[in-house]
Amino acid sequence: MDSVQITIIGGGVIGLSVAVELSKHHGDIVLVERHGKPGQETSSRSSEVIHSGLYYKKDSLKAKLCVEGARLLYEYCERNSVPHLKTGKLIVSVVENQRQDLEELFKRGIENGVKNLRLIDSAEVAKIEPRIKAAAAIHSPCTGIIDSHTLMGRLSTEAAANGVVFSFNTEINFIEKTPEGYVLGVKDSDYRFFSSIVVNASGLSSDRVASLAGIDTDEAGYRLSYCKGSYFSYSDEKKSPPCKMLVYPLPERQLKGLGIHATVDMVGKIRFGPDTEDIDEIDYRVDAGKGQAFFESVDKYIKNLRREAFAADMAGVRPKVKGGDFVIIHEHQRGREGFINLIGIESPGLTACISIARMVSAMVREYIN
């Protein structure tokens, strides 16, 4: 039977970042991906925002890994010529009675260690973004955008140069624990191979992959639910784009996403989204009938929008886990030594990809030593 030291399941931005980080310290690594190339699922379906880390609960993994990850990702982009731009971001309260919520969010950002946040009034908002309607706003100058496709290309090249072997069109559908490690099996084949260490970075399937390894996902609290987020593009030939920076409404309490926001990509295209829709089956089609609801949401904080300029664009699916935080864990306490699970890696997973990878790398180092 073929044997490797480390297998990474999943070639999204997380699996690729883990491959780069691990291959700096270890050899004999294979990354298996069920599609024919990397990044064909959630990692290609995001807002491509480098978040600053202000939303997340203090001391959560999301808060810690996002703040640290944003810094590491900017550095990586600089070093590797990945297109990115610190556009800055406004989080706007449209009515005066949201002031307290805005201040609470501001305070949380400061507690999480986000740098250079400012609370600004409507006059200053009007100066920076004349078409934004706001009673007040948080200005986050460190928030930015990134070309996530180029990022994944660079990570793949670096991992391959460090000796990581990529196996595409390879879907893991069998995992058996042995005293020394794991035997893995591949869908539609009799092929089996042995791996001492397994990193489960399989995104929307990460709960199923964990259960292949014999982990009771309900008992562990790993069962994922899916929350779809659709986007509408906005292209108004008659006017210049409605904003230059990212503009988010203040998130409503208990909302599963950050609210339908305005994002700009590296070529200046404006998109609104994502909304939130609980789904049972993965389906990336965008319901064009949602156009009016999108228009009404965004019309609350952007002036002079044209309804006809909204067009159904794309959708992504968030892997939601019960506790709401990232799960990044070496499963030795469940009798699965050398098995590392990454579950519920929704936003800000793109921002945090390098800090997540470093955390996994530290777990592997500790296990091997």
Ligand X SMILES: Cc1cc2nc3c(=O)[nH]c(=O)nc-3n(C[C@H](O)[C@H](O)[C@H](O)COP(=O)(O)OP(=O)(O)OC[C@H]3O[C@@H](n4cnc5c(N)ncnc54)[C@H](O)[C@@H]3O)c2cc1C
Q: Which of 8, 138, 151, 209 binds ligand X (CB under 6 A)?
A: 209
Q: Which of 53, 88, 203, 259 binds ligand X (CB under 6 A)?
A: 203
- Compare residues 137 and 350 and give the one whose CB is closer to ligand X: 350
Binding to ligand X by CB under 6 A, coded x per residue (else -) over 46-65, reads xxxx-x--------------
Closest CA to 6 of 24, 27, 21, 20: 27
Buried b (16+ CB within 10 A) or exposed e, 60-77: bbbbbbbbbbbbbbbebb
In the chain, DSSP assigns E strands to 2-9, 29-32, 49-50, 84-85, 89-93, 118-121, 136-140, 144-146, 165-167, 172-177, 182-186, 192-200, 225-234, 246-249, 261-264, 270-273, 277-279, 310-320, 327-330, 339-343
Q: Which of 132, 201, 224, 359 binds ligand X (CB under 6 A)?
A: 201
- Contact flag: residue 177 with ligand X (CB under 6 A): no
- Contact flag: residue 340 with ligand X (CB under 6 A): no
Tokens 């990115």 sit on residue: 84
Q: Which residues pair with 119 in a beta bridge?
A: 138
- Contact flag: residue 274 with ligand X (CB under 6 A): yes
Taking CB under 6 A as the binding criterion, the range among 9-17, 76-84, 106-114, 276-284 that sits at the site for ligand X is 9-17
Q: Which of 4, 5, 8, 12 binds ligand X (CB under 6 A)?
A: 12
- Contact flag: residue 18 with ligand X (CB under 6 A): no
Binding to ligand X, residues 298-317 (CB under 6 A): 316-317
CA distance 297 to 231: 12
**Least Å from the CB of residue 315 to ligand X:** 7
Residues in contact with 166: Cβ distance below 8 Å, sequence separation at least 6, in sequence order:
11, 30, 31, 33, 38, 156, 159, 160
**Least Å from the CB of residue 76 to ligand X:** 14
Please state whether 40 falls in left (phi above 0), alpha (psi between -120 and 50) or beta.
alpha
| Cα separations in angstroms, 296 against 236, 250, 254, 255 | 17, 15, 20, 17
- Compare residues 117 and 317 and give the one whose CB is closer to ligand X: 317
Binding to ligand X by CB under 6 A, coded x per residue (else -) over 224-243, reads -----x--------------
183, 194 contact by CB (below 8 A):
yes
Helix ranges (H only) for the chain are 13-23, 61-80, 99-111, 122-128, 148-161, 206-212, 217-220, 291-299, 353-368
Q: Which of 286, 345, 359, 364 binds ligand X (CB under 6 A)?
A: 345
Q: Which of 204, 245, 286, 357 binds ligand X (CB under 6 A)?
A: 204
- Compare residues 40 and 150 and give the one whose CB is closer to ligand X: 40
DSSP tag of 328: E
- Contact flag: residue 358 with ligand X (CB under 6 A): no
Amino acid at 341: N
- Compare residues 21 and 136 and give the one whose CB is closer to ligand X: 21
- Contact flag: residue 348 with ligand X (CB under 6 A): yes
Q: Which of 140, 351, 355, 361 binds ligand X (CB under 6 A)?
A: 351
- Contact flag: residue 150 with ligand X (CB under 6 A): no
Binding site for ligand X (CB under 6 A): 9-15, 32-35, 39-43, 45-49, 51, 171-172, 201-205, 209, 229, 274, 316-318, 345-351
